Structure 1
Amino acid sequence: MPPHPLRGFIASRRRHAAVVAAVMICSTAVTGQDGAVAGGAPSVPAPQLHWSPCVQDSPYDCATAEVPLDYGNPGGRSIELAVVKRKATGPGRRVGTLFFNPGGPGGPGTVQMPQNYESFPREVRERFDIVSWDPRGIGSSTAVNCFENPEAAADWAAGKPAGFPVGEKERATFIAAYEDLVRRCRQRDPELLSHVSTADTARDLDQLRRSVGDPQLTYYGISYGTILGATYANLFPGKVRAMTLDSNIGPGAWTNDASDDARLTTFLRVGSDRSAAATLDTFLDLCASTTTARCAFSAGTPEATRDKFDRLTERLRKEPVDTWTYARTVADTVNSLYLVSGWTDLAGRLQELWQGRTPEPAPFPPAPPVPDPSPYLGEEQAAAVLCGDSPNPRDAGAYPALEEASAARAGDAGRFWTWATAGCTAWPTSPDRYTGPWDRRTANPVLVVGTAYDPSTAYPNSRAMVEELADARLLTNEGYGHTALLNPSTCVQEYESRYFVDGTLPPVGTTCRQDTPPFSAPEPSGGVATGGGGMAAVVS
């Protein structure tokens, strides 16, 4: 779900390496446990995967899977899924295939799995082939693309405010831009738009499982990938071997408890505004407690550093620094809280703005050795999934009041997160969105990982995931940033490895800590000082 290091969504978010649904079938046919469609329709054959090196000398193999556009009509139009694999490295017996979804919605797995491969626990890399894919509608798969050419897409993006709208004039421009986007999308490929739900992707995932020959699914989903995992677990409960859901979205928050009458946006239900505000406060507190050599924005005390941030944003409202407006700066700040490793760079950009200088944007990660390391990832791709699946207010006039209410409880972060789904006002609802139930008994228990200071998927969502699934265990990561995968904890990784390899769950109430605290000093050897990783079973 929400943005990066998963793919970001509608509110002009900068993408990070990594970035992050579920669905009761509202159509007449329901996919069965082994790819068959209930009601007498023929079984859908598993796609054939013809693996070959993605590019010359690449350690990754690529393939293309052909699947039905509509599982209720498997003999109709087919679409293609771009798939990537890194073989188990050994030593030790290979266990099977681990499928990975990097979140979003809209995260291209063919890019983000290779970018983040080294973040997977060592034993997982040794014992599993790791496979990811661009979900239907995304990236290098059959993709939602509502523009004639890249120039038209760039012109559309440049025509709306960066970050989120400020003031009545910008709000009108912002809403009009997304109404125009929906019109374009309806004209280009309305049939595809109707079949990019999370439920459709869960069915694709089961087809991929069958293609690699695994009798049950082993899966790792982060952010939006947790909703995909929960959906799969309830559509195919007997096929769950092991499933880790990291940085969760509460299923009831995603579906608005199965109601279409949405008075709050998806991310306000998830609590992203409050969580981002709490993480920002912690960023400023920790910045203040160290030296300016480690955090350039420090003003010496937490109070002074918070005041400095408030004065900076107020000043940018009146006088931007080049293209760095108030809204762009807030969006950059919230997005940059995702990766603790980027907090020092964020502090440097804020200090540059404080001094009236134009900062350098955060760098993009290096391109992985795959055929298309930079596929088209227009905002319509994420919107097609999120807006189709998760109810949001249909009246654009409701957003200013929601913004003020969120700002009252979460400050600047509330403004950012309120407008993140404004593009959904005119978007068609998916005919196949899944709304539950979420409590179907799975063949094996699910491991749920939640991070305390997560600027996107608030920690209470992980508790909600455990409560709503039939059989799940919570592992708490006392740390910062979005996902434990991308903000590593040796403790979390060791528990995940044991669970993936042999199904052993952490004890009830287990809490881990992050390896590297924010603003850590480099060690003389060039390494990084650690801060409390390792196995630690703490009963909460």
Structure 2
Amino acid sequence: MPRPIRALAAAGLAGVLLAGVAVAPATAAPTTVASKAPYFSHRTSKLEQKRVDRVPTPKLDWYRCYDYAECATVRLPLDYDKPKGAKTEIAVLRVKARDQKRKIGSLFLNPGGPGGSGTSIALAAPYFLGDDVLDRFDVIGVDPRGVNASDQVKCFKSVKDQTRAYEGLDVAFPYTKKEEKAYVAASKRVGKACSTTGKPLSGAMSTAEVARDMDVLRRAVGDKKLTYLGFSYGSVLGQYYANMFPDRVRALVIDGVLDARAWFGKGKSGNVLQEDRMRSAQGATKALREILKRCKAVGVAACPLADGDPAAKFELLTKRLKAKPLVIDDPDFGQFTVTYADFISFILGGLYGPYGYYDVAFMTAELLVLTDPSAKKTAREQARTSVVELAAEARKQARAYDFPYDNGLETFLGVDCTDANHPKNAGSWPSRAAKADQRDKYFGRLWAWISAPCARDTWTVRDEDRYTGPFNRRTANPVLVVGNYWDPATNYKGAVASAKLLPNSRLLSSDSWGHTAYGTSACTTRAVDAYLLRLTLPKKGKVCVGDIQPFEDLLEPEAAVRADSSKSDLAAQGAPRRGAPKQLPPVVAPLPAVGSLNGR
């Protein structure tokens, strides 16, 4: 998929996907203590007991890897109804607790996606988890079936076949009629390939299968109950586990929450787009509007769009790019084209991090200059330099369908298309996406196109053992549900709905920026750590505040100096030179798929 898999912003450490700022635990805020003996919990169904409990406890043959971690692989049933039948290999990585004598148990992590690497996020644990958590838990990462170091799903026999099939997906999202036609055709080719060549693994990657794998591995690491922290799509995995194995939950935290019912799409809702159910674009639009509103409030000293109406300037740029893509020639990097879809995708990518306001303000200002024929030469050169630098970096990271075989898109689809219900005909996506864009401006179309290969007539392989509900089971210990007001990928409403549905849960809200809240708010991070460590819940109605708020770091004397050249007329004078925002240490997140959409 063009870049969305729902996740966090990416940062360093050799391909580890991460998001947020690592914050060590501090003194806990006032809390209530979770009952050690809740009045009751639902029990794992006899069918699920039979499926997972008859699988012998695997012996994990750990070996040292990546300097400070341990790795292992295990072969688990491809189909839990046939435990002695075909197997699939699952990769596991462990970072051992630093205080083994006081170890509580194991903490399972999932970064989202679907398609994100659990082993990668576990390897990154020392960079974003609090010291107390690292002291007391072995951190466990599992690459879900089909993903990364586990047996990989492969929908095409060769890179050549894959490259030819993917032609048409090489846009951030389709906007013109020609692009839409090519995108639909490519979506059909990919969906059909995954439903044939990709079998049997492509039909055995549902979230339910991953939850079953995780329960067997919980037993393998010696834990009687599961302790889990899941981000973004990882919140769906957490909810599935909680409902499939409610009496096996020790502590379960989900951050950046998707409503599992909306994800699945039961009954008539299965005939509408997954985006129409989840409304990710609504969250992104809400965040963008708030940033533009705050831009106006802080003035040109901090925001170059504040000399006038920031929202109107943003709209003006989108109209210019729709009418004519921007072509930039650079002697060092060659020619770059910036389309309307490229710009919107870039803005969404920026909103994934707490400094997304910087991208909104400065990229918009720079592109306004470059699309204005009357702008002064010096202003154009300054803006061009900044945009070229970003474009060159994006080109380095762009997905090139060359050697080796990259199955990033196929891992996403292997879960989403097999898990959830989707409309029947891929040819209906253009009109559906257009309606989504009318409802949620700028981002509706982008999010809508992600699921196009999942059309029922295209994606025909099914997992007869996927989980279809219920999603309201009472767990042995509460589920802590973390929702971020300004999340551009997992709408805050998803957290509210999930917390209402799970009878034994607690909603922790965070007035934070970016995708997910852990690590970007010391308050949220403390609350999550307290629950993982001591089963201590935050008070009902607790609202945390993110450590980074739009434009506050730019309200400094030097910001005013930077803005001098733009006080009168931005288009004529040019935008302030784009500087590097404060760098974030690595922390958690999902993989990009095809194109430049963002994932969960």
What band does the TM-score fall into relative to the shorter chain?
0.7 to 0.9
Per the alignment, residue 102 of structure 2 pairs with 93
Per the alignment, residue 371 of structure 1 pairs with none
Instruction: State the shift of 1:90 in Å.
Output: 3.8
- The reply to whether residue 249 of structure 1 matches residue 254 of structure 2 is no
CA distance in 1, matches of 2:106, 2:187: 39
Per the alignment, residue 418 of structure 2 pairs with 388
Q: Do the aligned partners of residues 308 and 207 (structure 1) sit closer, same or farther apart at CA in structure 2, a change above 3 Å counting?
A: same
Q: Aligned to 2:342, what secondary structure does the other structure show?
A: helix
Residue type of the alignment partner of 1:18: L
Per the alignment, residue 203 of structure 1 pairs with 212
Indicate which of 5, 8, 11 corresponds to 1:3.
5
The one of the two structures with greater contact order (alpha-carbon pairs below 8 A, sep at least 6) is 2
Instruction: State the shift of 1:353 in Å.
Output: 2.9
Per the alignment, residue 469 of structure 2 pairs with 436
Deviations 1:45-67 (A, max 9, x none): 12222222223xx2222211221
Contact 2:472 2:501 in 1 (8 A): yes
Deviations 1:253-308 (A, max 9, x none): 1122x22663421122111121111011123233444466755xx3115x622122
Per the alignment, residue 280 of structure 1 pairs with 288
Instruction: In structure 1, list runs of 5 or more residues that go unmatched.
Output: 9-14, 20-27, 37-42, 368-373, 530-540
What does residue range 123-138 of structure 1 map to in structure 2 within 5 Å? Answer: 123-138=132-147
What does residue range 213-228 of structure 1 map to in structure 2 within 5 Å? Answer: 213-228=222-237
Residue type of the alignment partner of 2:132: E
Instruction: State the shift of 1:140 in Å.
Output: 1.7
Deviations 1:138-194 (A, max 9, x none): 122112122334455455445334121113221111011011112322332311122
Indicate which of 289, 301, 315 corresponds to 1:310.
315
Per the alignment, residue 402 of structure 1 pairs with 432
Q: Aligned to 1:63, what secondary structure does the other structure show?
A: strand
Contact 1:103 1:222 in 2 (8 A): yes
Instruction: State the shift of 1:17 in Å.
Output: 2.3
Per the alignment, residue 50 of structure 1 pairs with 61
Stretch moving more, 352-361 or 430-439: 352-361
CA distance in 1, matches of 2:363, 2:581: 24
Q: Do the aligned partners of residues 527 and 491 (structure 1) sit closer, same or farther apart at CA in structure 2, a change above 3 Å counting?
A: farther
Contact 1:6 1:107 in 2 (8 A): no
Instruction: State the shift of 1:331 in Å.
Output: 1.6
Aligned length: 495
Runs of 4+ in 1 over 6 A off after TM superposition: 526-529
Structure 1 length as normaliser, TM-score?
0.84
Indicate which of 352, 355, 358 corresponds to 1:341.
355
Stretch moving more, 336-345 or 98-107: 336-345
CA distance in 2, matches of 1:142, 1:49: 17
Deviations 1:409-463 (A, max 9, x none): 2111111112121121121343222111112221111111000111111111111
CA distance in 2, matches of 1:437, 1:362: 48
Indicate which of 430, 440, 458 corresponds to 2:491.
458
Stretch moving more, 70-79 or 106-115: 106-115
Q: Do the aligned partners of residues 416 and 30 (structure 1) sit closer, same or farther apart at CA in structure 2, a change above 3 Å counting?
A: same
Over the aligned positions, Cα root-mean-square deviation in angstroms equals: 3.2
What does residue range 310-329 of structure 1 map to in structure 2 within 5 Å? Answer: 310-321=315-326, 322-329=336-343
Structure 2 length as normaliser, TM-score?
0.76
Q: Do the aligned partners of residues 505 and 420 (structure 1) sit closer, same or farther apart at CA in structure 2, a change above 3 Å counting?
A: same
Deviations 1:457-486 (A, max 9, x none): 111111111121131010011122211125
CA distance in 2, matches of 1:178, 1:528: 39
Deviations 1:109-138 (A, max 9, x none): 222333464222332122111111210111
Contact 1:7 1:106 in 2 (8 A): no
Per the alignment, residue 270 of structure 1 pairs with 278
Deviations 1:295-330 (A, max 9, x none): 5xx3115x6221221111111112222332111221
Per the alignment, residue 492 of structure 1 pairs with 524
Q: Do the aligned partners of residues 253 and 93 (structure 1) sit closer, same or farther apart at CA in structure 2, a change above 3 Å counting?
A: same
Contact 1:260 1:391 in 2 (8 A): no
Per the alignment, residue 146 of structure 1 pairs with 155
Contact 1:276 1:456 in 2 (8 A): yes
Per the alignment, residue 505 of structure 2 pairs with 472
CA distance in 1, matches of 2:9, 2:85: 30
Residue type of the alignment partner of 1:432: D
Deviations 1:372-403 (A, max 9, x none): xx993421210111111111211234323322
Per the alignment, residue 453 of structure 2 pairs with 423
Q: Do the aligned partners of residues 471 and 33 (structure 1) sit closer, same or farther apart at CA in structure 2, a change above 3 Å counting?
A: farther
Residue type of the alignment partner of 2:272: L
- The reply to whether residue 411 of structure 1 matches residue 476 of structure 2 is no
Per the alignment, residue 31 of structure 1 pairs with 48
Q: Do the aligned partners of residues 174 and 409 (structure 1) sit closer, same or farther apart at CA in structure 2, a change above 3 Å counting?
A: same
Per the alignment, residue 38 of structure 2 pairs with none
CA distance in 2, matches of 1:289, 1:135: 45
CA distance in 1, matches of 2:204, 2:49: 18
Contact 1:69 1:79 in 2 (8 A): yes
Contact 2:77 2:86 in 1 (8 A): yes
CA distance in 1, matches of 2:147, 2:9: 10
Contact 2:8 2:352 in 1 (8 A): no
Q: Do the aligned partners of residues 318 and 103 (structure 1) sit closer, same or farther apart at CA in structure 2, a change above 3 Å counting?
A: same
Q: Aligned to 1:340, what secondary structure does the other structure show?
A: coil
Residue type of the alignment partner of 1:334: L
